[in-house]
Structure 1
Amino acid sequence: MTSMRPPRRSAAFAVAVVLGLLVPPTASASGPVAPGIDHRPFTVTTGHGAVNGHLLTVDLHRARLGLLHPGSIAARDEVPDMANARGAVAGVNGDFFNISSVHEGVEPTGSSVGPEIAGGRDRKGAVPAGQRFGPGLPTGTSTWDVFGVGVDRRARVGGLDLTGYARTSEGTFDLEGLNQYALAEDGIGVFTSEWGPMSRVRSTCGSDASRETPCSAETEEVVVRDGVVVAEHEEPGAGAIPRGTTVLVGREDGAAELESLDPGDRVRVRPRLVAEDAPPFRFAVGGFPILRDGAPLAGLDAGELAPRTAAGASADGRFAYLVVVDGRSAVSAGMTVAELADLLRSFGADDAVNLDGGGSSTFALRGPGEDAATVRNVPSDGKPRPVANGIGVFPR
């Protein structure tokens, strides 16, 4: 018989207590939010002091997860606003995002580092590792790693690949980007109406190894409407992209390939995100793995204390765990990434990812009888930070 209770890992956490600085979390309150959704505020005592946080346990047989987003990919909004707009009963912030720019005259786009899938629809791909924001990636991980839920309704941590092409009568060009603030060197990326009106110049700045590399001097943009090239430009443009229109942006060798296209040429553009392991994701958000098969990954940062947000899955994928811990205050010290992995394991997660932290860490909840989700943690900025995306929790 399948247990109706989320799995526990008290023995694993006891080991963490001996080897680390954590002691078991104590709940200050707990209770069901909706069928299959349970909220528990907690306090953890560490060698750095007390840490306050929130745990949301979601039974995916009785509730569901989905992507929170502000509409346009190149945009930001606060977690409670995104949750209320989608009718979620709870939400946490999601992936790291393009929060700043070192290129003169180029605005930060606000778009996320990693992939996004919402309702089975591919929204965007991942930027090169050298162009990401956030702590260093653990060995063996990449910007294409995600936390999500498959079409089988099971939560998991996995990887995505972009398999795409632009096919013309002259040949086929490989696509290496989908609605991304940074393209791989020599690559071609696709921008759709979901990108929004933000300029596409940022996609040709930086390099595979560094965000600070100057913007490329070799660029080309091609506008395709209903499968036909209608315009070409030497530099990426800005402005809303109408439905039925796609914009191809190339840099270096990718720009040279696009220069072979002329107005009137027919082009078939097909970008697609593919899961590295079955089944396909119905919902996915970028994050870097910190827990795999019940064990923290090697090399996780064990020095910097900060507010943290994380998402995990039970071994069978039935239960999802969303965690936010506060930090940078007199009442909550924050955690290291290594401590966060141990914490997720103690709650029952077998696999987990680290999401954006610091001032972005936000937990919003609409309790029983309440009209709207509100912030329940203490954001270190003193107020919720607008973020690129989040994870929403919904009743079935």
Structure 2
Amino acid sequence: MTRRLKRLAAGRTVLTVLTAFGMLAGTALTGAAPAGAVEAVTEIAPGVTYEQFDITATRGVTHAHVLRVDLRNPQVHLDLLYPGVVADRAPVSRLAQSVRAVAGVNGDFFNINEVQHPGVEATGAAVGPLIAHGRPLKAAVPNGQRFGPALPPGTNTREVFGVGVDRRARLDRLSLVGSVLTPEGRLPLGGLNQYALPENSVGAFTPKWGSVSRVRATCGTDTVRAAPCSTDTYEVTVRRGRVVSASNTPGSGPIAAGTTVLVGREAGAQQLRKLSTGERVTVRQRLWAARSRIPYRFALGGYPVLRGGQPSAGLDSTTSAVRTAVGIAGNGRRLVLLALDGAPAYRSGLSIAEVAAQMRALGSVDAFSLDGGGSSTLVAREPGASAVSVRNHPSDGAERPVPTGIGVFSAP
């Protein structure tokens, strides 16, 4: 253990959280960490604070790093951190610093490898929907194509956390609503900048996808990620509303401005083969919020662990790991961003049931789990600093490049 970790471990007051699912469901928590548990609270910017403390969990002591964000402060807002395209990754500190965020955490689970499909390039793209600056970037992959731990019962890959145009944070589900208008008629749009398309569908890839190969989008099935890649595929390039080229195999490379690449598999491929060079094609898409109907300014995927102060059904209470989560309080105007420490002394982490309990103990009414393990990273500016620094110890020993994060911004 490093000297720094020894000092941290020796001087902390232990915060005990509820670990039994039944206790969590039946016990009312006060909403804040007990007095003395937090080592110190540091103001990062007006409306943004940072704190850290120990948690005694089922498998031992872990260490929490927490950002509290007050959206009631007009200087504060949240937005998506990402490398500029969907199919790319970078460390959270670089993502935050490139857009001058004052703090942030890592985001959604992602297509981290392709061990089941030799020769197919992993895209690095996130699992769930993405919205940045009020504009949709991608839709959710099919449930069976998800990377990460099993989803709790009743949830799916369309689950999102985000902040609406009303400056209130909320949980919802974002569904892709879109179509491809052709001389033959209207085709339903099954995907937008996704590393996996539904079977028999047509997906749209825009310049925001990036330059990574689109072959991965035709691999696996709606229920089995490791299933073979489709042998019936077709790709059509549409530029300024007209078909300019086609291919039997999805391609790679940057997509030019004003261009959309349509990729079809199975029945979708058969529909695209009917198109001819020069024909007019119009692609329309949007991400629709199922519950609130309020447009999001920013949103990203994960899954809910707490709703209305109650844990989601079926949360795992046996598997502990380093975690990242975000909580909502104050009718969507106050946020809690948590990342656990991945240093060897604390790597036992929390189960998802314990994450729900801890987020509730920190005052959250709703809470959302993000990617964990080596991805868990929390960054924030030191007082007086112009750049963010990593506050937790990533469990890989260094920051893992990730496709998304939650950025906290403060207007000067």
TM more than 0.5: yes
Aligned-pair CA distance for 1:71: 1.3
Asked if the contact 2:88/2:125 (under 8 Å) is kept, the reply is yes
Q: Conserved in 2, the CA contact under 8 Å of 1:359 and 1:381?
A: yes
| One-letter code aligned to 2:112 | I
Aligned match of 2:349: 334
| 2:404 counterpart of 1:393 | no
The answer on 1:93 being equivalent to 2:106 is yes
* 5+ residue gaps, structure 1: 1-12
1:328/1:334 contact within 8 Å kept: no
Q: Choose which of 93, 106, 109 in structure 1 pairs with 2:123.
A: 109
- How far apart, in 1, do the equivalents of 2:389 and 2:356 lie? 26
- 1:344 correspondence with 2:355: no
1:330 deviation in Å?
2.3
- Shift, 1:223, TM fit: 0.3
Instruction: Give the C-alpha shift of residue 48 in structure 1.
Output: 2.0
- How large is the RMSD of aligned CA atoms in angstroms? 1.8
* Corresponding letter in the other structure for 1:47: T
Alpha-carbon offset, residue 374 of structure 1 = 1.0
1:180-191 superposed matches below 5 A: 180-191=194-205
1:363 and 2:363 matched: no
Structure 1: how far apart are the matches of 2:99 and 2:342? Answer: 28
| 1:14 shift after superposition | 7.2
Query: 2: distance between equivalents of 1:105 and 1:44?
Result: 43
Q: Is the 8 A contact 2:162 2:169 kept in 1?
A: yes
* Structure 1 partner of 2:247: 233
Alignment of 1:1-396 (within 5 A): 19=23, 26-62=37-73, 63-101=76-114, 102-276=116-290, 277-327=292-342, 329-396=344-411
In 2, the alpha carbon distance for the partners of 1:33 and 1:270 equals 41
Question: 2:19 touches 2:353 (CA, 8 Å); kept in 1?
Answer: no
Query: TM-score under structure 2 normalisation?
Result: 0.90
Structure 2: give runs of 5+ residues left out of the alignment.
Answer: 1-16
Contact 1:83 1:373 in 2 (8 A): yes
Deviation at 1:46, TM superposition (A): 2.1
Q: Say if 2:33 and 2:362, in contact at 8 Å, map to a contact too.
A: no
Tell me which amino acid in the other structure corresponds to 1:391. I
Q: Percent identity?
A: 52
Cα offsets for 1:150-183 (capped at 9, x unmatched):
0000001111010000101220000010000000
Partners of 2:20 and 2:317 within 8 A in 1 = no
User: Aligned in 2, Cα 1:220/1:332: closer, same or farther, shift over 3 Å?
Assistant: closer
**Quick check: 2:172–2:289 contact (8 Å CA) kept in 1?**
yes
Are 2:18 and 2:358, in contact at CA under 8 Å, matched by a contact in 1?
Answer: no
Give distance in 1, aligned partners of 2:22 and 2:205: 50
- Deviation string 1:312-368 (CA, Å, 9 cap, x unpaired) is 111500111110012472245200011001111111111111100000000111122
Compute the TM-score of the two structures, normalised by the length of structure 1: 0.94
The answer on whether the counterparts of 2:160 and 2:301 sit within 8 Å (CA) in structure 1 is yes
Say if 1:247 and 1:315 are closer, same or farther in 2 by CA, change over 3 A.
same
Q: How far apart, CA to CA, are the structure 1 residues paired with 2:330 and 2:110?
A: 29
Amino acid across the alignment from 1:302:
S
